[in-house]
Structures are given as C-alpha cells and as structure tokens.
C-alpha cells in the first residue's frame, strides 16, 4: 500500500517542525508548501538528509505549486503570520484571512478529500474561513487549539503536583484566546478531579486559579520569551497527535475547534469542544453538561469567536 501523503501548507517554524516530526514518525510522504521560495525546498532537503542517521523512510518535497499537494490525505495549515510581543491573536485577522482564501482554494482544487487541520491564528475564525473557502465537509476541517491548551494545563498541573503528566488529564473548552475555558471539574490526576485534590490539600484554590490563568496566557508567555515569533514545538506536536488519530482511525477523544451545530446550543460555529477523531475526521462532538459558571465563561468565549467571524465577513464580502 502506498504511503499516506501529508501536505504542510506553510513551511515556517511550525511547518518545519511538523515535517520533521511526521518524517521521524514515518506518517507518510511529506510535501511542504510555502510562498517563500527556497524555504520549503531547503527544509525538505535538510530533513531528508537526517533520514539515514535517524532511519526513517519518507520522501520530502518543498514546493510553491499547489498541484504538488494533489491527493493529500492530511493537510496541516500554518500559512500566515505569527504574533509578536504585545500583539493578540486577533491582531492577525486581516492578513491571515487573505492567506486562508488562497489556501482554501488550493485545497479545494487539489486535495478535496483531505482531513484538514488549521493552526493559523486567530484560530477559531481562521478555521471557519478556511472551511468556507475550501468547501470541504465540516467534519473534515478542524482547528488545533484544545490539544495544545490542554497540554499546557496538564504540564503546569503535573509540575504543581509532582506527578507524571501521563496521569494528568485536562479539558479546555471555548475559543483559543484569552477567553478559553479550562475546566477544573473535568480535569483529573489519576481520575481524581481537581476540586477534590484541593479538598485533599494537594494544592490551594489560589494556586489552581493561577495555573488556570497561566494556561490562558500560555501562548503569550512563549511569545514574550521568544520575541521574534510564537510557540512551535508544542503546537506541532499537538497537530501531529490529531493527524495520527485520523490516519490510524484511533477514535481519540481530543478537544479541537470543531463545527458545532446543535450541541451546546450553537448553530454552526467553530469553537473548541471535546470531539472524537477517527477515520471519519471529527466523528462526534461531545456535548458535556456545564454548570452555571462554566456556561457563563463558555458564552463569553463563544461571543468573542462570533465577533471575529463577523469581522471576517465585513472584510471579505464573499463570506457574508
């Protein structure tokens, strides 16, 4: 059987890291697409030259031609600009919306059967726009944010408790921005929910609140340190986890920016929710019951996402 084909649209910091990881894990043959001449070709060649030492079999190609992504099984989109210190993800909207139009049309023409994972920010609005421009089925287009936000939450919790992060589960709902909703009640250590751990004296409510805030600010913390761009190792790892769930039909329960139509009282909005990802793409949206406070936080996050979608429609009349 031929190897799966992985198309990476955008060959910058995240795109290059994705290519390296996909090659090391032998997920398939890799095409790196970028408008910057030489960058995708250079990264493809550099990674291919690491193959003999690492011992992986994968072909890598860099290109500026959408025809080269033809028949891709998975497309991971990072094309666009990242933020600099002082910028919010929302500041990227105008420029990255134009990029989503070009990318969506490229995928529509050459890889209409792919499972598409968008990473470009502001995430929830960009994945919505990418779906609109590509015309692919909603279940085949999603955004990577929840896996990353949950991973950040899990990392901070594992550090606080001094336990393996393997045994920490965490749920983060809502938009990928300042209004994201880390759900303490549904986050556990070895199955024990966080509020119980506070009761058991493992941590204090104040410390837990600080960890929740650090999770919300997780992206900005990295931008502040790097100064020239945003995070790329953990975002790439998170998207690879989603791609593997699709390629291997794992039916993983993963939070992602999915098209929510009916669940959570929403009628067709892309926002972060728990989902099941398998060979059918986003196969299911899991509609968990929220308490009053959680619902209020989720509503705030949903209205922030709706505002960004509205802004997209104002910028590009074709989306209205």
Binding residues: 10-15, 34, 83, 89, 96, 119-121, 152
How far is residue 163's CA from residue 185's CA, in Å, rounded to a whole number? 19
Check if 176 is active-site.
Answer: yes
Q: Which is nearer to ligand APR, 121 or 275 (CB)?
A: 121
Query: Site map for ligand APR, 29-48, x if CB under 6 A?
Result: -----xxx--x---------
Minimum separation from the CB atom of position 148 to ligand APR (A): 9
Annotated binding site for substrate: 83, 89, 121, 152
In 3D, which of 159, 124, 158 has the Cα closest to residue 141?
Answer: 124
Query: Site map for ligand APR, 220-259, x if CB under 6 A?
Result: ---------xx-x--x------------------------
Candidates 4-12, 21-29, 173-181, 306-314: pick the segment binding ligand APR (CB under 6 A): 4-12
Q: How many angstroms separate the most distant Cα atoms in the chain?
A: 58
Is residue 13 close enough to count as binding ligand APR by CB under 6 A? yes
Choosing from 20, 110, 176, 259, which is the catalytic residue?
A: 176
**Nearest residue by C-beta to ligand APR?**
12
According to DSSP, residue 174 is labeled B
Minimum separation from the CB atom of position 256 to ligand APR (A): 14
How far is residue 308's CA from residue 293's CA, in Å, rounded to a whole number? 23
How far is residue 277's CA from residue 249's CA, in Å, rounded to a whole number? 7
Of the candidates 11, 31, 136, 308, which one interacts with ligand APR according to CB under 6 A? 11
Query: Site map for ligand APR, 52-91, x if CB under 6 A?
Result: --------------------------xxxxxx--------
Q: Which is nearer to ligand APR, 43 or 294 (CB)?
A: 43
Minimum separation from the CB atom of position 15 to ligand APR (A): 6
The single residue listed with the structure tokens 């837990």 is: 208
- Chain CA centroid to CA 139, Å: 15
Encode 98-135: b = buried (16+ Cβ within 10 Å), e = exposed: ebbbebbebbeebbeebbbbbbbbbbbbbbbbbbbbbe
Q: Which is nearer to ligand APR, 79 or 107 (CB)?
A: 79
Q: Within 10 A of 50 (CB to CB), how many other CB atoms are there?
A: 14
Q: Which is nearer to ligand APR, 79 or 111 (CB)?
A: 79
How far is residue 85's CA from residue 91's CA, in Å, rounded to a whole number? 11
Token pair, residue 193, equals: 């929910």
Sign of CA dihedral 162, 168, 171, 177: positive
The single residue listed with the structure tokens 């929302």 is: 90
The Cα angle at residue 8 between residues 226 and 269, in degrees rounded to 5? 85
Minimum separation from the CB atom of position 36 to ligand APR (A): 4
Is residue 93 close enough to count as binding ligand APR by CB under 6 A? no
Q: Which is nearer to ligand APR, 121 or 134 (CB)?
A: 121
Token pair, residue 256, equals: 């992602």
List C-alpha distances in Å: 265 to 116, 260, 262, 290: 25, 9, 6, 12
Which segments of 162-232 does DSSP mark as H helices, in order? 194-199, 205-216, 218-226
Which residues are tagged catalytic? 176
Residues that bind ligand APR (CB under 6 A): 9-15, 34-36, 39, 78-83, 92, 96, 99, 102-103, 119-121, 229-230, 232, 235
């Amino acid at each position: 059987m031929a190897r799966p084909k992985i198309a990476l649209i955008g060959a910058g910091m995240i795109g290059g890291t994705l290519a390296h990881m996909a090659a090391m894990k032998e997920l398939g043959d890799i095409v790196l697409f970028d408008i910057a001449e030489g960058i995708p070709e250079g990264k493809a060649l550099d990674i291919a030259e690491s193959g003999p030492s690492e011992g992986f079999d994968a072909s890598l190609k860099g290109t500026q031609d959408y025809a080269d992504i033809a028949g891709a099984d998975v497309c991971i989109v990072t094309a666009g600009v990242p933020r600099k210190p002082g910028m919010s993800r929302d500041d990227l909207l105008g420029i990255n919306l134009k990029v989503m139009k070009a990318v969506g049309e490229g995928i529509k023409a050459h890889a209409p059967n792919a499972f598409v994972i968008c990473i470009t920010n502001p995430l929830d609005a960009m994945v919505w726009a990418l779906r609109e421009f590509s015309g692919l089925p909603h279940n085949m287009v999603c955004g990577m944010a929840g896996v990353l936000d949950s991973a950040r939450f899990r990392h901070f919790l594992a550090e606080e408790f001094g336990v393996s992060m393997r045994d920490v589960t965490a749920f983060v709902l809502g938009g990928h921005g300042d209004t994201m909703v880390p759900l303490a009640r549904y986050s556990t250590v070895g199955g024990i929910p966080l509020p119980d751990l506070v009761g058991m004296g493992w941590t204090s409510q104040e410390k837990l609140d600080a960890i929740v805030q650090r999770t919300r600010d997780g992206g900005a913390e990295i931008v502040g340190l790097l100064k020239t761009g945003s995070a790329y190792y953990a975002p790439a790892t998170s998207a690879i986890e989603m791609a593997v769930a699709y390629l291997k039909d794992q039916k993983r329960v993963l939070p992602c920016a999915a098209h929510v139509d009916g669940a959570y009282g929403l009628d067709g909005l892309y926002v972060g929710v728990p989902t099941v990802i398998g060979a059918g793409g986003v196969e299911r949206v899991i509609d968990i019951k929220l308490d009053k406070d959680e619902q209020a936080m989720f509503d705030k996050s949903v209205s922030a996402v709706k505002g960004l979608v509205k802004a997209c429609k104002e910028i590009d009349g074709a989306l209205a």
